[in-house]
Amino acid sequence: MSQMECKEFTAGLGDVIDRRLDASTGQTYLQHAASCPDCGDLLRDHLLLTSAIPQALPDLSPPAERMWARIQAQLPPPAPAPVPGAFESLRALFLRGLVLAPVPAFLLLVAVLLWRQPGPLQTAEAKSGATGTSIHSSPEKRQIELNQKRWDYVESGFRSYARSVRTRQPQR
């Protein structure tokens, strides 16, 4: 075992008291305290002080916590949350309608614009100058089919919009 000097013991005394040392180093410190009367007295005095401090001091909870506890004790109990009446429900529904009203108008505008656009077959015929030579039997039938496709597209947009409005919960 290495011989410890009193200077080393004094420097590491805080670690001994706080038990931050490993077992072998702590044992070396304790052996030195047992063999050196000055260091032994120093260790005993420190241990007595650290054990007496918690008993001698009053409650040291932070002042903010104590003050907050006093404030909460003086506060009245919280009022229950108001239940929305018919007026609030109608108002929320109306406001949601105002916010969502442009969506169907925009979809209708897109539908009209798509309806008026020439289809790919019409554009190809206009460029090539071909008339009546198509896989369809007549231009009217082709236009009807094209319009039906456009209408299906617009209708699917309206259906998805209606589905989203039905599933949306009213705001409180």
- Establish if 172 belongs to a structural domain: no
Average pLDDT value for residue range 69-95? 80
Say what the alpha-carbon torsion angle 131, 134, 136, 142 is, to the nearest 10 degrees. -50
Q: Would you say residue 141 lies in a domain?
A: yes
How far from the centroid of its chain's Cα atoms is residue 48's Cα?
50
State the pLDDT at residue 108.
87
pTM above 0.85, yes or no: no
* Same domain assignment for residues 96 and 60: no
Is residue 83 predicted with pLDDT exceeding 50?
yes
Report residue 74's pLDDT band, with 50, 70 and 90 as the boundaries: very high
CB distance 115 to 147 below 8 Å: yes
Highest-pLDDT range among 23-27, 139-143, 164-168: 23-27
Q: What was the pLDDT predicted at 51?
A: 82
Residue 92: what pLDDT?
Answer: 77
Is residue 111 located within the same domain as residue 61? no
Q: Does 40 share its domain with 68?
A: yes
Query: 5: which DSSP letter?
Result: P
Tell whether 144 is covered by a domain.
Answer: yes
Q: How far apart are CA 10 and CA 57, in angstroms?
A: 26
Q: Cα(17)–Cα(11) distance, rounded to whole angstroms?
A: 12
CA 92 to chain centre: 26
Let me know if residue 35 belongs to a domain: yes
Could you list the residue range(s) of the whole structural domain that residue 14 is in? 6-74
Together in a domain, 93 and 158: yes
Asked if residue 159 is part of any domain, the answer here is yes
Do both 90 and 67 map to the same domain?
no
State yes or no: pLDDT of 82 exceeds 60: yes
CA distance 25 to 101: 79
Q: How far is CA 34 from CA 7, 27, 29, in A?
A: 16, 10, 9
Q: What is the mean pLDDT of residues 84-95?
A: 73
User: Is the per-residue pLDDT at 68 higher than 80?
Assistant: yes
- The pLDDT tens digits for 101-154 are 788 888 888 888 877 766 655 555 555 555 555 454 677 888 888 888 888 888
Whether the per-residue pLDDT at 41 is higher than 80: the answer is: yes
Confirm if 104 and 158 have CB atoms less than 8 A apart: yes
Q: Check whether 73 has a pLDDT greater than 80.
A: yes
Q: Which two tokens stand for residue 92?
A: 């929320």
Q: Is residue 81 part of a domain?
A: no
The reply to whether 105 and 59 lie within a common domain is no
Q: How many domains does the chain have?
A: 2
In this structure, is residue 142 part of a structural domain?
yes
pLDDT at 1: 37
Domain check: are 65 and 36 in the same one? Answer: yes
